Amino acid sequence: MRIFLAGVLVAVAVVAATATPAHACSCAVPDARRLLAQTDGAFVGHLVERRDLGDGRAVFTFRVERRVKGAMGTTVDVESASNGAACGLETTIGVRIGLFLERRAGRWTSSLCWQVSPDDLLAAAQPLPQPNGRGPAALLVGGQFGGTRMMALDRRGRTLAYGRGAGTTLLISVCPGQRRIAELVQRDSGVGVAVRALPGLRLVRQQPVTSPPGGATVTALRCETRDGTRLVVFHSSVVRPGTALLERLTGTARATLWRGTATGASLTALNAFVMSGDLGTRILAVDLVTRRARTVGRIPPPAGPLVSNPAGTLLAGVVSSDGSRPHIARVHLEPFSVALRPVAGAGEVVWIDDRRLALFPTDGRRARLYAATLEVTSSFRWSAYRSVVVGSTVYGVAYFGRLHRAALPSGPERLIRRFPGPTVYAISAVR
């Protein structure tokens, strides 16, 4: 499983409601519900006047169309940086925007990073819609949706249940039996894991994850038992690139399964396939029962993350065999062999079943389906940055909280809903 950690998905703040977009101020994609809970004020209105104060500051006067939070009259003065390069507000007279505010020394202040579309701000002021899905859960999404961090969806993408709680869900693993799930959660107090029950996402238990000295990022998570009492996590060091740790969490106890130099790991029911070495070119199979590690083979450098097919017999991912041009790699583990095929750009590899896989682009190119021999069998347009296959359907999350769907093997891609938050960090099929 792969994730884009919170803070990695950073976009240049381009606000649709403004006449002049900003190109130098970088902001995390705003979560309107979260901002509404954390800021002192919010409104929808139109700019009527702007006054420069000097020293790089300006006062923007707005006519308030709708006050959402905080005490203000029919007009409000907001202090901000005087230009967009310094994250100052960017709008023109008469343009309708949504804006979040902070109260500082008796004055309202704001920035470009708190400037959103009016529809997003007004939607954030409404309670989360009641679940309207039917049938069993087909997929799970995690992120931060303002007071809730997970959602269970049916095959049509409709909401079945919310997983409420503080923080942001970064990884999801479905436990054997599909009655429990484990999630990796980033909170202000640090990283932890939580176990929830399906289908209602009731919180069963949670515990902190203690990072190795110097701090680390958990890049793989697997639930090993039906009740979620035993989990495996893979840490990658932040301060010492390549230093890694594979651990099993059992309640409050923890056991080291492997440690060394590695760039990633693919976790299966029996083994952890660790991409060892500074470039991740040596594949180690770590037996999750005996903890013995053995080298199964090598792949071309620099190696990207590899994912296992459901049976745990094949691995696949995108590598750069000549250091520049990307290739999709299929690794047969027993006996060991590597097949390579050039691809046009970066992408995410997802197994459809034990013998078929797909490369879903992260740069707007076409998705391609492959046989295990890496023969291309079909392709179609695909614009999501994180994808998962449920049966014969692929679901993907695109920017600004959009959920897309396409029927395999050839599409077409369709937008089926928007989430009540701009960014989804984890998506998982319920099998």
In this prediction, residue 211 carries a pLDDT of 65
Q: Which residues pair with 183 in a beta bridge?
A: 172, 194
Q: Is the pLDDT of residue 139 over 50?
A: yes
Name the pLDDT band for 3 (thresholds 50, 70, 90): very low
Average pLDDT, the chain: 88
pTM of the model: 0.81
- 239 pLDDT above the threshold of 90: no
What is the pairing mode between strands 41-54 and 75-81?
Answer: unpaired
Using one digit for the tens of pLDDT, what is the confidence trace for 352-375?
Answer: 999 999 999 887 789 999 999 999
DSSP 8-class letter at 252 = T
Whole-number pLDDT of residue 296: 95
CB 11 within 8 A of CB 399: yes
- Neighbouring C-alpha atoms within 13 Å toward the C-beta of 403: 27
Binned at pLDDT 50, 70 and 90, residue 253 comes out as confident
> Has residue 261 got a pLDDT over 70?
yes
pLDDT of residue 10: 30
Domains of the chain: 10-124 (2.40.50.120)
Higher per-residue pLDDT: 427 or 237? 427
At 107 the pLDDT is: 95
- 295-322 CB burial, b ≥16 within 10 A, e <16: ebbebbbebbbbbbbeebebbbbbbbbe
Contacts of 104 (CB under 8 A, 6+ apart): none
| pLDDT on residue 236 | 83
Task: Evaluate the CA torsion angle 299, 303, 364, 3 in order and state its sign.
Answer: positive
Given a cut of 50, is residue 68 above it in pLDDT?
yes
